[in-house]
Amino acid sequence: MKVSEIYRYPLKSGAAESLGLGSLKTTGIDFDRHWMVVTAEDGKLVSQREKGAQKLSLIRAIVSDRGVGLIAPGMESLRLEANYDSGQKREVTVHGTTHEAIDVGDAAANWISSYLPHVRGQSLRIVHFPSDYVRHLNDEFIGRASQASPAPSTEFADGYPVLITNEASLADLNNRLESRGGQPVKMDVFRPNLVISDCRPWGEDALNIIRLGTAVLKIVKPCGRCPITGVEQENGRFSSNPNEPRSTLKTFHAGRNLMHYFPQLKGDPDLLNAPMFGQNAIVVRPGSFNKGGAIQVISPREPIFPKPEGA
């Protein structure tokens, strides 16, 4: 098993940046989901889920020691200098939870509001994650790993610092999609940080602790998929059938099909019915790793009870 791709998303819901070398901190890959678009009035996350915000997928972020450059179709490039903690602090909301952020200024606000003028009828702001704020992960899926030092944390990711997907699982999913008369999907609709290869289909479900390079990860929870999987990342538009691939995933790889590995799913009806693709992970030991590097399975995930019939 090896790392076939490494991605980060400097701007949350923005375009992926392909990396040859990954550097993992407790919060995940350096600068992953470090910047975020929010509504000006109430500070709520704006993502590709929002009507009219699918074009976020076309914003490329170029990170350097001097700051970050944002590039979008039809727009002059925007450069944000590396005075990362010099802006005004404000509260922002990510999927119902409130966190601290730093506003990066009016020039960025005007730029993003011009690029996405029809989102919720509000003007928009860009914020970044403060260096002195820790977003802890208090979650039953983490278990004893939550007592690790330093404690697991993340920046503006949806819930966990690292998302892992598997090439063989995508191939199997696409075979199922085509057998139902649908179109295959690309891996980019799942927005992973790490893509693995030389692994059996859905073998990522059975991983527990893995080592890649000098870093160690613990897989903690299957990833429930949202409508972003229906957005064609290369053009910033919903596909002709945006309910896929979620509809097909629900037929064989929903939360109810994974309870033998993750019994915590049983207590949440939404998770039981959620289409799952990929696994969320936390960083047990920070370190670096290379694209193409080998992955060592330190410990597999043992099933708690027999696999459900039909799963």
pLDDT at 147: 59
pLDDT at 308: 59
pLDDT at 151: 81
| 2-28+137-300 belongs to CATH 2.40.33.20 | yes
191: left (phi over 0), alpha (psi -120 to 50) or beta: left
Assigned token pair, 140: 């039953």
The segment(s) of the chain belonging to CATH 2.40.33.20 are: 2-28+137-300
pLDDT at 307: 66
Compute the distance between CA of residue 14 and CA of residue 95 in angstroms, rounded to an integer. 17
Q: What is the pTM of this model?
A: 0.94
How many alpha carbons lie under 13 Å from residue 94 in its C-beta half-sphere? 21
List the one residue out of 262, 165, 164, 169 whose CA is nearest residue 215: 164
Amino acid at 14: G
Residue 272's SS3 state is helix
First to last CA, the chain: 24
Q: 């509809």: which residue's tokens?
A: 247
pLDDT at 150: 72
pLDDT at 81: 80
List the one residue out of 200, 192, 193, 204 whose CA is nearest residue 171: 200
The stretches in the chain having pLDDT less than 70 are 82, 84, 138, 144-149, 306-311
Evaluate whether 301 touches 204 at the Cβ level (below 8 Å). Answer: no
Evaluate whether 194 touches 211 at the Cβ level (below 8 Å). Answer: no
pLDDT at 208: 96
pLDDT at 297: 97
